[in-house]
Structure 1
Amino acid sequence: MNWGKKIAIVYISFVAFMGFLVWKCLQQDDIHLVSQDYYQKEIAYQTDIDQMNNTNQLSKELRFDYKYNNQIIMLDFPKESIGSTGEIFFYRPSDARKDFTVKLDIAKVENQSIRVAKLDRGLWVVKVSWKKDGKGYYKEEKMVL
Structure 2
Amino acid sequence: MKFNWGTGIVLAFIGFIGFIMYFVVTMSTNDKYDHDLVTEDYYKQELELQKNINKEKNAAQLKHNITCKKTDTGLLISFPEDLDASKITGKVFLYRPSNKQFDFETPISLSNHNLLVPDNRLLGGRWNITIDWEYNEIPYRFKKEIVY
TM over 0.5, yes or no?
A: yes
Q: d(CA) in 2 for partners of 1:89 and 1:104?
A: 10
Q: Say whether residues 1:133 and 2:141 are aligned partners.
A: no
Of 74, 77, 98, the residue aligned with 1:75 is 77
Which SS does the other structure have where 2:27 is aligned? helix
2:29 corresponding residue in structure 1: 27
Percent identity between matched residues is 27
Across the aligned residues of Structure 1 and Structure 2, the Cα RMSD in angstroms comes to 1.7
Of 99, 102, 107, the residue aligned with 2:103 is 99
Q: Say whether residues 1:116 and 2:119 are aligned partners.
A: yes
1:42 corresponding residue in structure 2: 46
| Higher Cα radius of gyration | 2
Which SS does the other structure have where 1:125 is aligned? strand
Q: d(CA) in 1 for partners of 2:102 and 2:77?
A: 21
Q: d(CA) in 2 for partners of 1:20 and 1:138?
A: 46
Q: d(CA) in 2 for partners of 1:48 and 1:31?
A: 26
Q: d(CA) in 1 for partners of 2:16 and 2:27?
A: 17
1:63 corresponding residue in structure 2: 67
The structural deviation recorded for 1:81 is: 5.4
Number of corresponding residues: 142
Q: Runs of 4+ in structure 1 displaced over 3 angstroms?
A: 28-31
The structural deviation recorded for 1:118 is: 4.3
Q: TM-score when scaled to structure 1?
A: 0.88
The structural deviation recorded for 1:119 is: 2.8
